[in-house]
Amino acid sequence: MPRHRALASAALTLALVSGLVSACGSASTPDTAGSASGSASGQSGLVVATTVSPLTSIVAAVAGDNVAIEGIVPEGVNSHTFEPEPQAAELLSKADLIFLNGLKLEDPTLGLAEANKKEGAEIVELGTLALPESEYIYDFSFPQEEGKPNPHLWTDPTYAIAYAEIVRQKLTERDPANAAEYQANYDAFVVEANKLADAVRADQETIPDGQRKLVTYHDAYAYFAKNFGWEVVGAIQPKTFDEPTPAEVATLIEQIRTEGVPTIFGSEVFPSAVLEAIAAETGVRYEDSLRDDDLPGEPGAPEHSLLELLRYNYRTMVAGLGGNPERLDALVFASLPDTAYYPQ
């Protein structure tokens, strides 16, 4: 945990952050060695392409070992700014189903998929299908005038279930012979996701009254906050995904002081010296270990899953806001199948 240091004034903080290098970063090149596009497909013969690792994890849990699944976006990169490498076109040209989040999250990958998909292949935008337009959330990072709603539905387990149901439907349409297995895998995923939702609902009751308030690096919890009764006070990463301006930093500092937020949450993948400086200026705790799209552990390990990522983030947020995450800490997920390829 960074030490809290008292800065002389907000002006000193603004001077500190004004020259920082952007934490968003640029896209890395996927490692395609051993990927599904170059290997035998699953038992059904279906080849499935996915984008970010949370979606890949959901698809893998429902598909089991019947389908060859390959992700496109490497774990630990900014999915909003990711530009797929040309070799991704080969995978997209072979895939029978291409699962994206949609809601304007992966427009470059969507464009590449539309240009290269084979005849009969289907592009499925999970978020766009799961979320009615009337329920789109626009906010400081995703303003309505930009036309891009907040796309982070998967940080809420109820939407993860909605994604899994769409995946089950699409796999069953393509491979009815394995419909019973897809249904069983989906049912198992629902049980585990509901266990997670129940645990966070119980643990969040231990947070002191009025303290379910989030200040984060990345604006990824809007739908979770709405459905679970939290408040997103602010996020340091603005809509441009560049460094925040001094005025934006000053506004966030004032919000933190006004709201009495005890902890602000950064990202393990994208360390933010801006948040660290804001924490020092306001005297609050800075917790820098929230995970974005980088699943815990290594691919193939039991903990390498969306549900484990969410469990870690929730328990970190509950503890950071003064609660007791005992239910989340005690939670044990049943093993779900995952034979997907995750680029690193």
User: Which class for 72: exposed (0-12), middle (13-18), buried (19 or more C-beta within 10 A)?
Assistant: buried
Sequence-ordered list of residues with C-beta below 8 angstroms from that of 277, at least 6 positions apart, any chain: 7, 13, 16, 17
**What is d(CA 5, CA 60) in angstroms, rounded to the nearest whole number?**
45
Q: Give DSSP secondary structure letters for 39-102.
A: S---TT--EEEESSHHHHHHHHHHHTTSSEEEESSPTTS-TTT----TTHHHHHHH-SEEEE--
User: Which tokens go with 202?
Assistant: 């119980």
Per-residue pLDDT at 27: 36
Q: Tell whether 207 is covered by a domain.
A: yes
User: Are 179 and 73 part of one and the same domain?
Assistant: yes
3-state helix, strand, coil in the chain (%, to 5): 45, 10, 45
User: Are 118 and 240 part of one and the same domain?
Assistant: no
- What phi and psi values does residue 236 have, to the nearest 5 degrees? -80, -25
User: Are 79 and 160 part of one and the same domain?
Assistant: yes
Q: Tell whether 342 is covered by a domain.
A: no
User: Are 60 and 188 part of one and the same domain?
Assistant: yes
pLDDT, mean over the chain: 86
With residue 282 as reference, give the H or E element that holds it.
helix 273-282
Helices (H) and strands (E) in the chain, counts: 12, 8
Per-residue pLDDT at 248: 82
44-49 mean pLDDT: 93
Q: Tell whether 5 is covered by a domain.
A: no
Comparing 5 with 177, which gets the higher pLDDT?
Answer: 177
User: Are 49 and 126 part of one and the same domain?
Assistant: yes
Among 130, 293, 204, 158, residue whose Cα is nearest residue 214: 204
Domain that includes residue 289, residue range: 10-25+200-330
pLDDT above 70 coverage of the chain, percent: 86
213-236 mean pLDDT: 92
Is residue 28 pLDDT above 50, yes or no? Answer: no
Our CA dihedral for 300, 122, 103, 26, rounded to 10 degrees, sits at 50
Q: Tell whether 82 is covered by a domain.
A: yes
User: Are 314 and 253 part of one and the same domain?
Assistant: yes
Strand duo 97-100 + 68-71: pairing:
unpaired
**What is d(CA 52, CA 50) in angstroms, rounded to the nearest whole number?**
7
User: Are 246 and 313 part of one and the same domain?
Assistant: yes
336-341 mean pLDDT: 94
User: Are 49 and 156 part of one and the same domain?
Assistant: yes
**What is d(CA 195, CA 328) in angstroms, rounded to the nearest whole number?**
9
Among 102, 104, 103, 95, residue whose Cα is nearest residue 122: 95
User: Are 224 and 272 part of one and the same domain?
Assistant: yes
Comparing 74 with 274, which gets the higher pLDDT?
Answer: 74
**What is d(CA 178, CA 188) in angstroms, rounded to the nearest whole number?**
16
Among 37, 67, 43, residue whose Cα is nearest residue 339: 67
User: Are 82 and 133 part of one and the same domain?
Assistant: yes
User: Are 143 and 181 part of one and the same domain?
Assistant: yes
Sequence-ordered list of residues with C-beta below 8 angstroms from that of 125, at least 6 positions apart, any chain: 100, 101, 102, 103, 110
Per-residue pLDDT at 77: 84
Q: Tell whether 2 is covered by a domain.
A: no
Tens of pLDDT, residue by residue over 106-152, are 999 999 999 999 999 999 999 999 999 999 999 888 889 989 999 99
CATH code for position 236: 3.40.50.1980
Comparing 69 with 248, which gets the higher pLDDT?
Answer: 69
Query: Which string of b and e fits 243-275 if b means at least 16 CB within 10 Å?
Result: bbeeebbbebbeebeeeebbbbbbbbbbebbbb
Residue 123: strand pairing partners: 98
Specify the pTM.
0.87
Indicate the residue among 161, 196, 231 that finishes a domain: 196
**What is d(CA 216, CA 320) in angstroms, rounded to the nearest whole number?**
12
CB atoms within 10 A of CB 74: 21
User: Which tokens go with 145?
Assistant: 């005038």
pLDDT band at 318 (very low <50, low <70, confident <90, very high): very high
Number of domains into which the chain is organized: 2
Q: Tell whether 337 is covered by a domain.
A: no
Per-residue pLDDT at 241: 61
